[in-house]
């Protein structure tokens, strides 16, 4: 095989060769690094659960001693992993070389060129005892792996765009309690600009709101849960992140018809005021204790009364948009986060290129209020009322002094995630307006500004004293929480294209504002023609 025209790519402990027809995107190194951390933590949990079932963890069943799982060593009781859309095979090779406790990894792709590239890269990295290259349609491979002996403990779906076409087969071919790692890069669909497109793909209506990144996560989780429910299964999210241009969710799949019935109470419609952007959630179902049941843990399922809002907003008298349904239960698991934070202290993981960002993001996620769905953006609220920006520590302090909980969201730098009702937030801004008055000329009839600021605050909130807990540890330690894009044109790249070539980047630069440049060129050409025509007329008159 001629390797002279191939690009050499080194990432983590893996080194691969690839051509332009096989997709590789360096932008998603954080995605791969984080996945390696999660898989190491899940592998520990998987082995612990095997022990609890009294299944001895032995190699080749030749001795009765329990062997510690190791990186790069095949474990007969280890994880069976499927990377359904492997491309270059880089992710599978890195899993083999950087994740402990693996039995086998199937690196699958539908492209002949991609599979040939995977075979060569697997051989070059000496991981052919763990990684098995495979060529098939990902959906067909998963549909034919639904029997108990063929199911995978881990399925990684990282498609270009929406993952929805793979969900049905994935939830059926993952083992009981198995892990799904799913990426969605079609963030424009979640933004609320084309709600009809999002409904077609995900069965949910997004809203144009500052918390659109968390809403995107919750829409994806709703879609996965709905897919799983059809087969008597339900999801348990372990970690859900919004990063760069994509969202990534890590969740487990369990079987339980009774627990599936609780799904309606985990899904909610979202009402958004068209004037002040106030958000109100209404669950699709309710759970109440059943006093007549012999089992005290048994619940009674019900349907909520509604709607949860009046025809006009209580704060500014504008109407509402309605979106959803979205997943309104927690999107992270506290116990798994603690295990993950302990796992990434391992020396072998500290050398990851994006390790500082992983620590920063996980620290913010651990500080989040997991039982509070969605968030507000302080800048957006102040902009709506034409107010001078409230310092984030003062806003957080006002809520903490009033005995409410508050946190950031990892998805937004100016986020305000709190259990305080919306009228408390507006009252705090009314108190701030007294200290920093808004020009009365801005109090225009029919605006949300006039409706909100003309009301008196029901309580005077403390906007002077900084609360001791207002500044979270992740901020105090100056961790890498919300990093800027490391390069220009940071994005998902082009489908089936090697994303490390300078020519590709130059092409993207050339295509920026292409139509505008063409119009300007045509305008200049027309002006030059007019000038020449006038010159010719003057010369002919002479």
Write out the two tokens for 194: 């084309």
Closest CA to 282 of 263, 261, 306, 258: 306
> What does the DSSP assignment read for 412-425?
EEEEEEESS-HHHH
The residue written with tokens 């007549």 in the block is: 292
Write out the two tokens for 112: 């002949």
Domain co-membership, 380 together with 428: yes
Sign of CA dihedral 170, 176, 181, 187: positive
Q: What pLDDT, on the 0 to 100 scale, is given for residue 465? A: 94
What is the pLDDT tens value at each position of the chain, 542 positions in all? 455 556 788 898 899 886 655 666 777 899 999 999 999 999 999 999 998 875 444 333 334 334 578 998 999 999 999 999 998 899 999 999 999 999 999 999 999 999 999 999 999 999 999 999 999 999 999 999 999 999 999 999 999 889 999 999 999 999 999 999 999 999 999 999 999 999 999 999 999 999 999 999 999 999 999 999 999 999 999 999 999 889 999 999 999 998 999 999 999 999 999 999 999 999 999 998 877 767 777 888 999 998 999 999 999 999 999 999 999 999 999 999 999 999 999 888 999 999 999 999 999 999 999 999 999 999 999 999 999 999 999 999 999 999 999 999 999 998 999 999 999 999 999 999 999 999 999 999 999 999 999 999 999 999 999 999 999 999 998 888 877 666 665 666 655 444 444 344 444 545 666 676 667 766 666 666 666 666 666 656 65
Measured distance CA(341)–CA(339) in Å, rounded: 6
- Strand positions, DSSP E, 365-494: 376-377, 406-409, 412-418
Angle at 482 between CA 268 and CA 474, to 5 degrees: 90
Q: What pLDDT, on the 0 to 100 scale, is given for residue 535? A: 64
Sign of CA dihedral 280, 281, 286, 288: negative
Domain co-membership, 380 together with 466: yes
Residue 390 lies in a domain: yes
Domain co-membership, 537 together with 436: no
Residue 359 lies in a domain: yes
Measured distance CA(504)–CA(71) in Å, rounded: 36
Residue 533 lies in a domain: yes
CB 270 within 8 A of CB 279: yes
Closest CA to 472 of 405, 374, 401: 405
DSSP state of 508: H
CB 173 within 8 A of CB 148: no
Residue 441 lies in a domain: yes
Per-residue pLDDT reduced to its tens digit, 498-529:
444 434 444 454 566 667 666 776 666 666 66
Q: Is 178 helix (H, G, I), strand (E, B) or coil?
A: strand
Counted domains in the chain: 2
Q: What pLDDT, on the 0 to 100 scale, is given for residue 101? A: 95
Domain co-membership, 534 together with 432: no
Domain endpoint, select from 423, 449, 476 = 476
Q: Which residues contact 331 (CB under 8 A, 6 or more apart)?
A: 214, 217, 218, 221, 237, 240, 249, 370
Measured distance CA(410)–CA(421) in Å, rounded: 21
Instruction: Report the 3 state secondary structure along 306-375.
Output: CCCCCCCCCCCCCCEEEEEEEECCCCCCHHHHHHHHHHCCCHHHHCCCCHHHHHHHHHHHHHCCCCCCCC
Sign of CA dihedral 283, 289, 294, 297: positive
Phi, psi for residue 459 in degrees, rounded to 5: -140, 145
* Residue 27 CA: distances (Å) to CA of 362, 390, 531: 19, 34, 49
Domain co-membership, 362 together with 468: yes
Domain co-membership, 442 together with 362: yes
Instruction: Note if the pTM is more than 0.85.
Output: yes
Domain co-membership, 361 together with 414: yes
DSSP state of 263: G
Residue 505 lies in a domain: no
Q: What pLDDT, on the 0 to 100 scale, is given for residue 499? A: 45
Residue 429 lies in a domain: yes
Domain co-membership, 422 together with 522: no
* Residue 239 Cα to chain centre, angstroms: 9
Range of the domain at 521: 513-541
Beta bridge partners of 108: 134
Domain co-membership, 454 together with 520: no
Domain co-membership, 412 together with 464: yes
Q: Is 290 helix (H, G, I), strand (E, B) or coil?
A: coil
The residue written with tokens 């992140």 in the block is: 241
Residue 211 lies in a domain: no
Measured distance CA(94)–CA(124) in Å, rounded: 13
- Strand positions, DSSP E, 458-521: none
Count of residues in the chain: 542
Q: What pLDDT, on the 0 to 100 scale, is given for residue 503? A: 41
Residue 382 lies in a domain: yes
* Residue 41 Cα to chain centre, angstroms: 19
Domain endpoint, select from 476, 501, 533 = 476
Number of H helices, E strands in the chain: 19, 17
Per-residue pLDDT reduced to its tens digit, 62-117:
343 345 789 989 999 999 999 999 988 999 999 999 999 999 999 999 999 999 99
Domain endpoint, select from 476, 502, 532 = 476
Q: What pLDDT, on the 0 to 100 scale, is given for residue 64? A: 38
Q: What pLDDT, on the 0 to 100 scale, is given for residue 47? A: 94
Q: Which residues of 434-444 are buried (b: 16+ CB within 10 A; e: fewer)?
A: eeeeeeeeeee
Measured distance CA(69)–CA(63) in Å, rounded: 15
CB 100 within 8 A of CB 70: yes
* Residue 133 Cα to chain centre, angstroms: 28
Domain co-membership, 383 together with 452: yes
Domain co-membership, 403 together with 472: yes
Q: What pLDDT, on the 0 to 100 scale, is given for residue 60? A: 39
Measured distance CA(263)–CA(230) in Å, rounded: 11
Beta bridge partners of 324: 205
């Amino acid at each position: 095989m001629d390797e002279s025209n191939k690009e050499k790519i080194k990432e983590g402990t893996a080194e691969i060769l690839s051509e332009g027809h096989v997709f590789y995107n360096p932008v998603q190194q954080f995605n791969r690094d984080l996945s390696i951390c999660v898989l190491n933590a899940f592998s520990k949990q998987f082995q612990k659960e095997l022990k609890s079932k009294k299944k001895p963890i032995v190699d080749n069943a030749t001795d009765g001693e329990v062997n510690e799982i190791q990186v790069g060593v095949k474990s007969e009781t280890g994880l069976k992993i499927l990377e359904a859309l492997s491309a270059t095979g880089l992710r599978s090779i890195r899993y083999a070389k950087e994740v402990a406790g693996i039995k086998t990894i199937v690196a699958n792709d539908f492209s002949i060129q991609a599979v040939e590239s995977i075979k060569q890269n697997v051989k070059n990295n000496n991981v052919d005892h763990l990684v098995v290259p495979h060529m098939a349609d990902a959906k067909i491979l998963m549909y034919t792996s639904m029997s108990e002996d063929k199911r995978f403990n881990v399925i990684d779906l990282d498609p270009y765009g929406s993952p929805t076409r793979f969900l049905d087969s994935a939830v059926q071919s993952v083992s009981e309690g198995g892990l799904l790692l799913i990426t969605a890069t079609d963030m424009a669909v979640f933004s609320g600009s084309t709600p009809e497109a999002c409904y077609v793909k995900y069965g949910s209506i997004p809203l144009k709101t500052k918390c659109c990144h968390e809403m995107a996560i919750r829409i994806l989780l709703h879609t996965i849960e709905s897919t799983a429910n059809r087969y008597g299964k339900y999801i348990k999210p372990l970690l859900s992140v919004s990063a760069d241009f994509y969202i990534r969710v890590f969740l487990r799949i369990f079987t339980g018809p009774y627990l599936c019935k609780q799904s309606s109470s985990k899904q909610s419609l979202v009402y958004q005021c068209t004037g002040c952007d106030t958000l109100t959630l209404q669950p699709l179902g309710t759970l109440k204790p059943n006093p007549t049941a012999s089992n005290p843990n048994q619940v009674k399922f019900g349907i909520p009364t509604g709607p949860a809002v009046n025809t006009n907003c209580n704060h500014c008298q504008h109407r509402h948009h309605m979106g959803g349904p979205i997943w309104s239960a927690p999107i992270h698991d506290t116990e798994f986060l603690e295990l993950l934070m302990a796992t990434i202290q391992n020396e072998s993981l500290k050398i990851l290129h994006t390790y500082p960002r992983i620590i920063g993001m996980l620290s913010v996620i651990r500080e989040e209020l997991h039982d509070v769905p969605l968030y507000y953006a302080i800048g957006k609220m102040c902009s709506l009322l034409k107010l001078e920006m409230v310092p984030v520590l003062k806003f957080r302090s006002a809520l903490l002094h009033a005995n409410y909980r508050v946190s950031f969201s990892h998805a937004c730098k100016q986020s305000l995630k709190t259990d305080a009702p919306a009228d408390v937030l507006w009252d705090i801004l009314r108190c701030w307006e007294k200290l920093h008055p808004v020009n009365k000329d801005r109090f225009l009839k029919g605006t949300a500004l006039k409706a909100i600021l003309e009301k008196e605050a029901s309580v005077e909130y403390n906007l002077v004293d900084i609360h001791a807990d207002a500044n979270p540890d992740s901020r105090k330690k100056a961790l890498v929480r919300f990093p800027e894009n490391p390069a220009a044109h940071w994005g998902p790249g082009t489908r089936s294209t090697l994303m490390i070539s300078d020519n590709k980047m130059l092409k993207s630069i050339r295509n920026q504002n292409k139509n505008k440049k063409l119009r300007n060129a045509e305008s200049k050409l027309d002006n030059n023609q007019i000038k020449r025509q006038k010159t010719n007329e003057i010369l002919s008159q002479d």
